[in-house]
């Protein structure tokens, strides 16, 4: 791709040094990923500034450098005359638009569906992918559970846990299109919107799930967090809105001027799509689906009222695509649930183990409420403080579970650079009685899983929660391989070879 004058205007060019109209073959914001012909974007993050790695990038083959330091660029252009230096107004904005150009507007050649909210993004994305694919619109998904085409998972090293950085995102759109996918549903985090990873994308549909305090370690205030979420809808042609959500449902309805479908679990809400009289059944949930004053009896392979709400978001997406309710309903018993979201494991005696990486107080409360409907003797719940998240949230996780489980295990998830003892202690402050005999602690997630299993017997229900993702624990910049499912398998097959000590010894 040649960066021409029309591109430069879109990038917000302020000043240029070096050869005009350079040709690039790739984009990088990490100097370690630079190859010959790369455009290197100088992103300033929490721990590093790309401007400090320009020389390294050039020596590895970068022929275009885009950033903000005009003085530095002028000096470097004399030392590296073969390289083009572009000073721009906003580096992340420029990187997003350059990604669009490089991948030939791949986002416009596929239906784009963005899902935002505090809880439910992963589940809604999975439901939309499953629903549309079964309705003969092959759909891929992008998010916490990885990159999926309609029929298979794509081996792709994501740049972030949830919403990829713009260069990766537009490459994924192109990959999905090459696999003959017609749509892509993606989780859009508040941080992704704020960091302009989805800048320039005109979403065909934006979906809202709910809003409660989260990511305050990044946004600092709830209002800034909310604003980032709502900004997604400024880029959307159609919207799906949960009007049961007090966080921002009514605000979205007030400001959004496009085509809207609303959903609710309240028959008196006046929503476009309503679920009522939800009943737990072995196969999932049975409920009444109400649309345009008609009531349909539905069975769906989802568990818990909150997941029925998530399913309604997918139904609204199907309606936005022109399908009728009569076409959608036969698919609902076959909806695929995402791994790690009310994932039931019942292969070890009469006990049931639920993996659900609920990592907010609201999600934890919803999960426990849904799990209560499952026949069980004793309920054992593992909760975790996430070291790379907001410490102020940790006591609220304890408050959400206290008095609702027979046994509670407090552990650590993704300690990052925080001391596991500090994380556990912070969670424990949320209990009214920290010395209660049914509360115990562990300093690694692996130890927490094992401790939960040890306390269980047949007919017990074990719930393993929190935000373990991407098959690893993030510890001091390292990704230590981790799988709850592997730990469970090893425990019940007497292969207790654990790496908990390896993780803790890093501190």
Q: Which helix (H) or strand (E) holds 73?
A: helix 70-79
Q: How confident is the model over 42-75, as pLDDT tens digits?
A: 999 877 899 999 999 999 999 999 999 999 999 9
**DSSP SS3 for 322:** coil
Task: Using alpha carbons, select from 116, 317, 142 the residue that is nearest to residue 208.
Answer: 116
Structural contact between residues 56 and 50, judged by C-beta atoms closer than 8 angstroms? no
Query: What is the spatial distance between Cα 58 and Cα 46, in angstroms, rounded to a whole number?
Result: 23
Can you state the angle between helices 166-178 and 91-102, rounded to 10 degrees?
20
Domain 104-334 matching CATH 3.40.1190.10: the answer reads yes
Question: What's the pLDDT at 497?
Answer: 47
- What Å distances lie between residue 387 and 215, 359, 505, CA to CA? 12, 12, 16
Three-state secondary structure readout of 181-211: CCEEEEECCHHHHHCCCCCCCCEEEEEECCC
Backbone angles phi, psi at 119, to 5 degrees: -120, 150
pTM score: 0.86
213 alpha-carbon distance from chain centroid: 16
DSSP conformation letters of 360-429:
SHHHHHHHHHHHTTS--S-EEEEEEEETTS-GGGHHHHHHHHTTS-SEEEEEEE--BTS-HHHHHHHHHT
d(CA 274, CA 291): 7
Q: Domain segments of the chain: what residues?
A: 5-101, 104-334, 343-504
**Distance in angstroms (rounded) separating the CA atoms of residues 123 and 330:** 19
User: What strands lie across the sheet with 352-356, from one edge to the other?
Assistant: 343-345, 352-356, 461-465, 379-386, 407-413, 439-441
Is 6 exposed, middle or buried (CB count within 10 Å of its CB: 0-12, 13-18, 19+)? exposed
The closest alpha carbon to 364, from 331, 399, 391, belongs to 399
- Token match 């040890």: residue? 454
Q: How far is CA 121 from CA 142, 225, 292, 357, 458, in A?
A: 11, 16, 26, 12, 33
Smallest Cα–Cα separation from 163: which of 92, 260, 98, 103? 92
Report CA Rg, the chain: 24
Looking up tokens 């619109």, which residue turns up?
Answer: 137
Residue-level pLDDT at 496: 47
Which residues of the chain fall short of a pLDDT of 50? 495-498
At 474 the pLDDT is 86
CATH number of the domain at 343-504, please? 3.90.190.20
Backbone angles phi, psi at 53, to 5 degrees: -120, 15
- Where residue 299 falls (left for φ over 0; alpha for ψ -120 to 50; beta otherwise) is beta
* Reduced DSSP (H G I as helix, E B as strand, rest coil) percent helix, strand, coil of the chain, to 5: 35, 25, 40
CATH code for the domain defined by 5-101: 3.40.1390.10
Contact (CB, 8 A) for 49 and 71: no
Cβ-in-10-Å burial (0-12, 13-18, 19+) of 457 comes to exposed
Residue for token digits 């007497």?
494
Q: Write the pLDDT tens digit of every residue in 248-294.
A: 999 999 999 999 999 999 999 999 999 999 999 888 999 999 999 99
Contact 153, 147 (CB under 8 A): yes
The strand pairing partners of 262, in sequence order, are: 241
46-49 contacts: CB < 8 A, separation 24 or more? none
Q: Interior CA angle at 484 toward 504 and 129, to 5°?
A: 130
**Calpha distance 384→414 (Å, rounded):** 9
- Distance CA(145)–CA(163), nearest Å, equals 11
Average pLDDT, the chain: 92
């Amino acid at each position: 791709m040649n960066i021409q004058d029309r591109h430069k205007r879109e990038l917000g060019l302020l000043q240029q040094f070096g050869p005009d109209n350079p040709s690039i073959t790739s984009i990088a914001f990490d100097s370690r990923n630079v190859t010959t012909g790369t455009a290197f974007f100088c992103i300033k993050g929490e721990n590093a500034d790309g401007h400090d790695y320009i020389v390294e990038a050039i020596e590895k083959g970068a022929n275009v450098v885009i950033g903000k330091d005009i003085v530095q660029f002028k000096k470097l252009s004399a030392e590296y005359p073969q390289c083009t230096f572009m000073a721009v107004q906003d580096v992340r904005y420029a990187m997003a638009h350059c990604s669009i150009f490089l991948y030939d507007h791949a986002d416009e050649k596929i239906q784009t569906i963005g899902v935002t909210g505090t809880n439910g993004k992963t589940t809604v994305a999975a439901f939309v992918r499953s629903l549309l694919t079964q309705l003969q619109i092959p759909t891929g998904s992008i998010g916490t559970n990885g990159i999926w085409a309609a029929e298979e998972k794509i081996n792709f090293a994501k740049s972030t846990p949830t919403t990829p950085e713009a260069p990766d995102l537009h490459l994924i759109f192109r990959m999905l299109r090459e696999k003959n996918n017609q749509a892509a549903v993606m989780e859009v985090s508040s941080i992704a919107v704020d960091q302009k990873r989805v800048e320039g994308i005109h979403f065909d549909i934006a979906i809202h799930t709910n809003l409660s305090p989260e990511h305050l370690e990044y946004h600092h205030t709830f209002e800034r967090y909310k604003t980032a979420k709502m900004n997604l809808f400024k880029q959307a042609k159609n919207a799906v809105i949960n009007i049961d959500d007090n966080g921002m449902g009514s605000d979205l309805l007030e400001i959004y001027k496009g085509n809207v479908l609303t959903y609710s679990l309240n028959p008196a809400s006046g929503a476009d799509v309503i679920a009522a009289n939800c009943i737990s059944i072995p196969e999932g949930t049975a409920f009444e689906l109400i649309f345009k004053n008609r009531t349909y009896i539905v069975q769906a392979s989802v568990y818990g009222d909150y997941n029925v709400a998530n399913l309604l978001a997918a139904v609204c997406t199907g309606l936005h695509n022109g399908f009728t309710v009569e076409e959608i309903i036969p698919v609902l018993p076959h909806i695929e649930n995402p791994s790690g979201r009310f994932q039931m494991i019942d292969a070890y005696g009469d006990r049931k183990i639920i993996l659900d990486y609920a990592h907010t107080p609201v999600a934890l409360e919803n999960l426990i409420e849904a799990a209560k409907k499952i026949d069980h003797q004793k309920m054992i719940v593992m909760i975790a403080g996430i070291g790379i998240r907001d410490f102020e949230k940790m006591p609220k996780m304890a408050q959400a579970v206290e008095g609702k489980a027979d046994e509670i295990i407090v552990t650590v998830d993704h300690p990052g650079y925080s001391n596991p003892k500090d994380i556990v202690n912070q969670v424990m402050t949320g209990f009214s009685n920290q010395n209660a005999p049914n509360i115990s602690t562990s300093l690694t997630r692996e130890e927490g899983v094992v401790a939960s299993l040890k306390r269980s017997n047949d007919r017990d229900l074990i719930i393993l929660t929190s935000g373990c993702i991407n098959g690893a624990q993030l510890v001091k910049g390292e990704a230590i391989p981790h799988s709850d499912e592997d730990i469970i398998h090893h425990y019940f097959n007497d292969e207790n070879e654990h790496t908990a000590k390896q993780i803790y010894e890093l501190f």
